[in-house]
Amino acid sequence: MWDYLSQHIYDDFILKDRYMYLVKGLGNTLLITVGALLIGVLLGVLIALVRIAYNNGVKSPVMRVLNAFCGLYLTVIRGTPMVVQLMIMYFAIWKSGRPVPVAIVSFGINSGAYVAEVIRSGIQSVDRGQTEAGRSLGLSAKDTMIRIILPQAFKNVAPAIFNEFIALLKETSVAGYVGIQDLTKGGDIIRSQTYDAFPPLIAVALIYLVMVIGLTSILGVIERRMAKSDLR
């Protein structure tokens, strides 16, 4: 039994350096996740600000167009599957693009829609009096938002944002659809070479699990640090 198992593990990972499929795959998975994360947060904050400004009565023609565009974006992105968006982006819109950058942009655009709603709820959770206090001191609307509202908003929604990061990390497992060798695809390639499914796929699952546990514990550290101002 043990000999049988170790033989499989040897064939799946050691022989012909097959573990490198997982290592390289992990690299792509992380690259796509981090890149998409940056785009997603940036996009999310911008969209949240547009929607909040519009709801607070800034209704110039430009804002009307922007707000309508943001509404459309949220509806389309949240209403269609990620993998379909990825394929449309790679096979129909950005045909000449290299797969990884296309995936980063595509996952970023997708993530932005979810982050936007989280950030918006975070901003709206901050008491109106905070804005009034900032503005009454002579701070501009922009300074008040950046120095007073957003730090409190981020703190309130940190768990929800992290959940979005974790979801994004796992969601990148569909990158294989556009020919990217990510972690999942790496495990799948090993399976197709050795006709042995269990060890490589379990290894892939374990790596995702460890990363998610790592992210969760990082969230714990961040939350404790941000709770500094809550100590009584």
Q: Rule CB under 8 A: is residue 124 a binding residue for another protein?
A: no
Draw the binding track, 126-155, toward another protein (x: CB under 8 A; -: no contact): -x-xx-xxxxxxxxx--x---xx--xx--x
Pick the closest to residue 219 from 171, 157, 147, 173 (CA basis): 157
Q: Rule CB under 8 A: is residue 228 a binding residue for another protein?
A: yes
Q: Rule CB under 8 A: is residue 58 a binding residue for another protein?
A: no
What is the CA angle 189-192-196, rounded to 5?
110
Q: Rule CB under 8 A: is residue 223 a binding residue for another protein?
A: no
**Cβ distance to another protein smaller for residue 136 or 216:** 136
Q: Rule CB under 8 A: is residue 225 a binding residue for another protein?
A: no
**Cβ distance to another protein smaller for residue 49 or 150:** 150
- DSSP class of residue 159 equals H
Half-sphere exposure of 228 (CA within 13 A, CB side): 4
CB of 220 to another protein, least distance (A): 19
Q: Rule CB under 8 A: is residue 98 a binding residue for another protein?
A: no
CB of 120 to another protein, least distance (A): 19
* Residue 142 CB partners (closer than 8 Å, separation 6+): none
CB of 135 to another protein, least distance (A): 7
CB of 154 to another protein, least distance (A): 10
CA dist 15 → 154, 179, 182, 194 (Å): 47, 24, 20, 10
Give the total of residues touching another protein (CB under 8 A).
23
Stretch that binds another protein, among 86-94, 174-182, 204-212, 224-232 (CB under 8 A): 224-232
Pick the closest to residue 52 from 115, 114, 120 (CA basis): 120
Q: Residue type for 125, please?
A: S
Residues in the chain, total:
232
**Cβ distance to another protein smaller for residue 87 or 141:** 141
- Locate tokens 């459309």: which residue? 72
> Where are the strands (E) in the chain, listed by range?
none
Exposure letters 36-51 (e unless 16+ CB within 10 A, then b): bbebbbebbbebbbbb
Q: Which residues bind another protein (CB under 8 A)?
A: 127, 129-130, 132-140, 143, 147-148, 151-152, 155, 228-232
